[in-house]
Each structure stands twice: as C-alpha cells, then as structure tokens.
Amino acid sequence: MSICWRTIASAAVVATSGTALCATAQAQTLLTAEAANPGSSSYIALVSFGNVTRHHAGVELQVNAGATATRSMLDGARGDLDIYTITYTATNWMAEQSQMYEAIDDAPEAAQNLRAIFSYPGGAYQMVVFEDSGIRSIEDFAGHSVFIGPAGGSAASQMAILIEGIAGLVADEDYDAISLDWGGGQQAFQDGQVDVFIRPTFIGAANIEQFGLANEIRIIGIPDDMLDNEAVAELTNLPGRSIDRVPPGTYSNQTNEDAVNALGFWLGIGASREVPEDTVYEMTRSLWENLDEFQSAGAFLRAVTPENAFNHMNMPLHPGAYRYYQEQGFDVPEELIPPEAM
C-alpha cells in the first residue's frame, strides 16, 4: 500500500532533480511524482500539471527528475509512486512480462493496476549529429557511438530496432550503443564523446536547441522510402506511436533543407490506485478548468484538448478522473472505464 500521499501544512514544493524547496503555504496534499530530465516534454507537462493542481486543487506534486518512464510506471502500478509518466508502448510489455519487464515477476499483476488521467503529445525521437561529423544518414552510424537512451528504457530498445531495421546495423556490433541517463547522454554528446544523440522530446525542445547555439547540427530522419519498412511499421503500430516531421529551421544552425521524418509518440499522466478518488477528481477538474494555464508551459501542450484527452490511451482511467469526465459529458471509450466504476 502506498504511503506517498499525505496532507502537509507547509508546501510550495517546487520541482527539482531531487531537492525540495519549501515556503510557507496553506495546507496541501503532497504527492510524489517522477518525470524525465528538465526540458523534456514529460518534465514540462508534469510540472505544469503540478502548478495547476497546486493553485487550484490544493495538491502539490514533488517531482523527481531524471526518471525512466517504464520504471515509474512499475512503481506507480505497485503503489510506490503517486503520479507518473505513462509511455503507452510499455503497457503491453508490462502485461506480457516482456522487454524491460522480462525479469519482473509481478509485472503482469502490476499492469492491472495502471490508471491514467489524460494524454498529451510527447514529441518525436530526434536523431541529432553535428554537421562536421560527416554523418548524413542512419547507415552512416556504422562505426560511430550512438546514444540510444537509458538502459532498460523503451527508447533504447526501440531505437535499436529502428536502426537495425533501416540500416541493418546491429547495436554493439556495427556501432557502439551508448546507454546513459538522459542528462549524461546529453553531456556526452555536447563534449564530443558521443557522435549521435537520440532524444525523444517535443519538436523545438531547448535541450536540442542548445546544441545549435555554437555549432551546426543536422537532424537525421527516416527516409521517405523506408516508411513502409517492416521495422518502421512495427514501431508505428505500437500504442502511442506515429510518424512526425521535423521542419528545417526548427533549431538554430540546423542544416537540413527539407523536413525529415521522425518516430512520434504520445504520453500520459497516470495516478496510483492508492491515491484517493477525490484527490484525482480535483486534480482532473483543475486541469480542464484552467487549461490555458496548463498549456502556457509549452506550445506542444496546446494539443491537450477534450477531443484528444484519451489519445492512444490503453489502460483504464483512475476512478477520480473518470468521475470528472463522466460528469462533464466527455465521450469516454468503454475500454477506459475503470473496473472499480462498473
């Protein structure tokens, strides 16, 4: 049983990478939450959601940054974390005890406890190189070091599939597959220790923009003639996946003359079943009644609308979120109705 949520008499806990800064405030409910590194779409969405719930629902999110969504989902499903980032691709993997959950005996049981609040666009897997590297295609990754994401995360496994499917390059045989945390991978690329940096984040993200401030950069895309490739189709058929386009001029000193294809994705914010229904109800209400405030954190959040609230969602809603949607007349698909509400 979760012991994460509680009511506190001093709050205004701001999101940090593990440090809580407190100021005097009225009594609030404190919930633990996890997201990827600052600057990522999951971090921005979760912090913005927390700002709204703090101001309008009396619910404080203590956001721990640098987390892997697949691990956060497992902790949330077990009741060890209150609010977590959802990568819909991992839902089936957890239920099937496959991929990064293969050695997790209780993964199928835990998957039954996953509960969602709403969906949002996470962005695209953007493959970045410095122009002077000479790398112009995925085939050119051969013999180079490629940061594919944290070990055990969905990004690393999917990028290995994509690179092999398109170019026939096998991780750690034909190129060095580098698995660090997100911050470590970004620093390694900036320092020239990694030749290719792959990051799932929103298009136009600051953590890619910074690379182009002093150097020319290029976004390596999926070739048009490979969009029907078996590996690409395998990935785009996964829950939450699509093909997006990164336009030229998105970033400073970007050398692409044409838009390039990238693997796009949607994410979600979920809540442990241990978080009380009334708490999640108030959080959900505060989001939709203050949508402009939530969306002000990033242009990509403008896609969070009543019509897109359940995009790609493949787990039941939290009972508190479902109650709000039901009262407000949202068109909730039958498969998203929580068993507790039936």
- pLDDT 10s digits, 60-86: 999 999 888 999 999 999 999 999 999
Provide the 10 A C-beta neighbour count for residue 330. 16
With cut-offs at 50, 70 and 90, classify the pLDDT of residue 22: very low
Say yes or no to pLDDT of 184 above 60: yes
How far apart are the C-alpha atoms of 71 and 69, rounded to whole Å?
Answer: 5
Q: Could you tell me which residues are beta bridge partners of residue 209?
A: none
The yes-or-no verdict on residue 13 having pLDDT over 50 is no
- Token output for 11: 């709050």
Averaged confidence pLDDT in the chain: 91
Spatial separation of the C-alpha atoms in residues 69 and 265, rounded to whole Å: 13
Region 231-239 average pLDDT: 90
- Can you say whether the dihedral through the CA atoms of 285, 288, 292, 293 is positive or negative? positive
Q: Which segments of 98-182 are extended strands (E)?
A: 116-130, 145-147, 176-178
| pLDDT score for 213 | 95
d(C-alpha 181, C-alpha 37), whole Å: 9
Question: What digits encode the pLDDT tens for the residues 296-332?
Answer: 999 999 999 999 999 999 999 999 999 999 999 999 9
Return all residues near 73 (Cβ < 8 A) that are at least 6 apart.
84, 85, 86, 87, 90, 91, 94, 114, 270
Q: How confident is the model over 20-27, as a mean pLDDT?
A: 39
Q: What is the pLDDT of residue 278?
A: 98
292: nearest Cα among 283, 301, 284: 301
HSE (side-chain half, CA atoms, 13 Å) at 121: 21
What is the rounded distance in angstroms from the CA atom of residue 2 to the CA atom of residue 83?
A: 11
Q: How far is CA 36 from the centre of its chain?
A: 7
Distance CA 246, CA 255 (A): 12
pLDDT of residue 16: 44
DSSP 316: P
pLDDT for the residue 154: 79
The pLDDT value given to residue 11: 32
Encode pLDDT of 121-177 as tens digits: 999 999 999 999 999 999 999 999 999 999 877 789 889 999 999 999 999 999 999
% of the chain at pLDDT higher than 90: 82
Residue-level pLDDT at 3: 39
| Least confident piece of the model among 21-25, 111-115, 232-236, 335-339 | 21-25
Confidence (pLDDT) at 7? 44
